[in-house]
Structure 1
């Protein structure tokens, strides 16, 4: 039986067999990317950054913010310096919670309205898929991970969706977060190689206060 956890583990095999082709965003000029991204993030992302840095909620670990409403991911070092940003593919359904036990359920039993990317604060670490390929686990029990974009079925057009400017095109996965291969290998993997990190998945149906227990507005 193919479960969501098996799918998450198995698809990553394909991601690391494929050649690592350079993306249009080469990350050769991170300073420029950082300045641009900080000026163009949403109010929700900026408020979250301010809270993390003011409270030191990341506990001196690298951290990532995933903005579901804009389908973007932002990578920071432990000092809060933005390292880069990218588009992301997310769960097909809008929602901030996982259905209990979804990680062990057969894929065929998961209807589209249960394919959510849950919001929350996740202390995350690198792991391995079934063939030894690398994956960033957010929540193992619910089979929630972040990994390089995989081909999926041809009709899903995942690479094309990732490049699309339309946020609605980014809602396609069973819940896992797909990012560009170069973003993962250049920024995510090195950041988590020698340290755990914190991944903040921002809510889209609730407030930051409702999802992050210690959240407060920074004046």
Structure 2
């Protein structure tokens, strides 16, 4: 019995040592981790719309050079040139909202632009009979620069000074800036950097003397001009029946335009 017990004591520790060595020799199994969730998919972006087709290569467009006019000025210039609304005449575009005048040659190339003084009252119509009233009798709401298409004419005013008539019947002309009443400060308004103080005249368009004498008057004398007075309140589409000739959609919606004979 003593001999058996001794053998048992030797065998049991030996098995424990062998098991321990076996555990250390066995490589560890793969580490099991929780499966990762797939990253959220970004929302599917809408397919980009195809860019609008460029205007026809043969389309005649106005050239303003480095000058950036308002969208309405550009629209009218391009439309008039494309439809030949100006015929063989130059174009004078009066942007009332920005109080600025643009003179373009018959081919639609900008010759020069200038700030301008315009009718004190914001509006697009002339009061009936306003052309026959003395200036001293004009009501404030009658002092408008009417919107529309006019044929420029050289002429003389009541003071025997040369002017460019926008409408003789409405007594609306373009001329050198006048002194006006002392509290009007017309020259200072015309020279100011902002256009918000340029509504002061009785309806005529006052211009800097150099611009009138070196650009506007010589242009009207040499080629004639169609004057486009852009509206204050109405749209250019409403006043001129004009449209954006650079828009393929608008061009497709329009019947072929018949060129207007020079008036």
TM-score of the pair, normalised by structure 2: 0.67
Cross-structure match for 2:65: 35
Equivalent residues of 1:115, 1:175 under 8 A apart = yes
State how far apart, in whole Å, the 2-side matches of 1:209 and 1:106 are. Answer: 34
State how far apart, in whole Å, the 1-side matches of 2:153 and 2:99 are. Answer: 22
Name the count of aligned residue pairs: 183
SS at match of 1:80: coil
**Residue 193 (str. 1) matches residue 196 (str. 2):** no
Cross-structure match for 1:209: 237
Cross-structure match for 2:7: none
Q: Which runs of structure 1 show a deviation greater than 4 angstroms over 4 or more consecutive aligned residues?
A: none
State how far apart, in whole Å, the 1-side matches of 2:240 and 2:226 are. Answer: 13
**Residue 144 (str. 1) matches residue 172 (str. 2):** yes
* Higher relative contact order (Cα pairs below 8 Å, separated by 6+ residues): 1
TM-score of the pair, normalised by structure 1: 0.80
Unaligned 5+ residue runs, structure 1? 1-33
Unaligned 5+ residue runs, structure 2? 1-63, 248-263
Name the CA shift for 1:134/1:107 in 2 (closer, same or farther; >3 Å).
closer
State how far apart, in whole Å, the 1-side matches of 2:158 and 2:89 are. Answer: 27
Alignment of 1:1-219 (within 5 A): 35-37=65-67, 40-130=68-158, 132-213=160-241, 215-218=242-245, 219=247
TM-align CA RMSD: 1.3
Shift of 1:142: 0.7
Larger-Rg structure: 2
